[in-house]
Amino acid sequence: MKTPWWFLHKTPLSFLLLPIAFIYYGIGRVVYGWRKLFAYKSRRKIICVGGIFAGGVGKTPIVRIIANFLDAPVVMRGYKRTASTNNIGDEAAMLMSDGIAVHVGHRKSNILLLNRQKGDNGPIVMDDGLQNPSIAKDISIYVFDEGMGFGNGFLLPAGPLRETKKHIQNADAIIVIRNKNPRKKFALPTGIPIFYAENKTVSPYPKGERLFAFAGIGYPKKFFNSLSGVVARRGFGDHYQYTEKDIEGLFESAKRKKAKLVTTEKDWVRLPADVREKIKFARLETKIDDRFFDWLKEKLNCAH
């Protein structure tokens, strides 16, 4: 599914969808309050990394960094995990390629299983789920992309927000991913630790190479703009499962443009094994402010 084009701008359609957004959110808050009454408290500390912006903010690299830093397992629901990426989903496959223990499926069930493991009392990283009240969190980290901010500022489906901005006050920390074109009117609450992260896209090809970039992520334009030498581009829906026809079309188009195909790591893991040998991905390098790790260690020692 492609990210709705109106998420970043206030359009007649987004205003038209506002009544549905209010109803959807109102029902959601009632369900949230009820489920919170029965929240499960884990024996091991839970670090939840998510956000209020629906998709495309760059959460997975942050999860990867935190899990590697703490040598912690990751629990995640997964996206259409019955798909072809070893039946686990692209984000899980990315994390597993880094040697991270990933548990895909019902989050609460996976946390219960991890709690039963004797001799391991380390923290568990939960990928997404800040809006899921059925699991108590010890540390909640909200991730934002500086270039997207709050989008058009409306709730789903009129905009990209899963909850109202006031709920950011529930965060223990905020990580903002820097952008060359920061969005205006992106004001975050005071009194919450804010840390900054930098993304750098490393092309697998030398400078000057003609590139045909394709991506099936929340906001493919971010990926395209991060590369130099792009002479053609094609965006697909988020978590798109490429067909044989799609792949043939990409190779033919790249040949006509006399360009090399390049994609994201998330897309690359979704490609068939034989195709992965012929297509390279651009590596995303993410660096978080060093102060964040000191804060995290201190917070883990204080969390109870």
Q: Does domain 5-200+287-302 have CATH number 3.40.50?
A: yes
Average pLDDT over residues 8-35: 96
Is the pLDDT confidence value at 262 over 70? yes
CA 21 – CA 292 distance, rounded (Å)? 35
Confidence of residue 79 (pLDDT cuts 50, 70, 90): low
Q: Taking a C-beta distance cutoff of 8 angstroms, is the pair 101, 74 a contact?
A: yes
Confidence of residue 277 (pLDDT cuts 50, 70, 90): very high
Do domains 5-200+287-302 and 201-285 share one topology? The answer is yes
Relative orientation angle of helices 290-302 and 59-70, to the nearest 10 degrees:
60
Average pLDDT over residues 111-128: 90
pLDDT of residue 83: 43
Average pLDDT over residues 245-251: 97
CA 53 – CA 160 distance, rounded (Å)? 5
Confidence of residue 187 (pLDDT cuts 50, 70, 90): confident
pLDDT of residue 84: 46
Q: What is the DSSP string of 205-233?
A: S-TT--EEEEE-SS-HHHHHHH-SSEEEE
Confidence of residue 82 (pLDDT cuts 50, 70, 90): very low
CB environment 108-140: b (16+ within 10 A), e (fewer): bebbeebeeeeeeeebbbbbbbbebbebebbbb
* Average pLDDT, rounded, for the chain: 92
pLDDT of residue 1: 63
Q: Note the pLDDT tens digit of each residue in 90-118.
A: 899 999 999 999 999 888 889 988 998 87
Is the pLDDT confidence value at 304 over 70? no
CA 124 – CA 33 distance, rounded (Å)? 24
Q: What topology is assigned to 201-285 in CATH?
A: Rossmann fold (3.40.50)
> Bigger pLDDT: 232 or 109?
232
Sketch the domain layout of the chain as residue ranges: 5-200+287-302, 201-285
Collapsing DSSP states into helix, strand and coil, what is residue 197? strand
> Bigger pLDDT: 110 or 183?
110
